[in-house]
Structure 1
Amino acid sequence: MKTLFKLRILQSVWTPQSPSRLFHKDNRRLVSQIVSHYESINRCEQELPEHFNFASDVLDKWSQLEKVAVLLHHRYWARSSGGVNQL
């Protein structure tokens, strides 16, 4: 068992991949989206609204979604005693 443990340690030292790749194997797609987003910002091609109002653009849309119960699943959470609370 000790030799297997030693081999496992040596194997982890010899692997050329970073340890984060063991947990997140889909990192290429994430990086390409971020890089393309930054490139569009650098070329000044990002779509920006002429006038942005947080209250009317975000909160009004959120309240409309709550009226049709799309965001209903966000209203529940678990208590430490084991029950479920509802907003």
Structure 2
Amino acid sequence: MQKKIIIVTAEWDYFKEQLSTLCSQLSRAGVDCEVRDYGNPEALRLIVKYGIDNGMIRIPQIYVISDGNVRRIDYEVTSDLKIIIKDLNDYISNE
């Protein structure tokens, strides 16, 4: 089964445009990628089931779904407000 990436964001998310661009680039490279607003029912289901950490929800959230398994991808925000997505290539490459 092909892997799918779902990026959950919000209208007010500082990184929304950057993540939308990333998703478009992934789609052009043949990776199934969608950007969803956090109010979308499927996005809310993912957040409630996989996105709560220490009682908090962080937006954006990035998920890789493969064969029914869902994995949330970690990222860092640098002091100069850049988003660094950790090990995304490891998650989307074919094993």
- Give TM class, smaller chain: under 0.3
Answer 1 or 2: higher relative contact order, Cα 8 Å, separation at least 6: 2
Higher helix share: 1
TM-score of the pair, normalised by structure 2: 0.20
Which one has a bigger Cα radius of gyration?
A: 1
Q: Which has the higher strand share?
A: 2
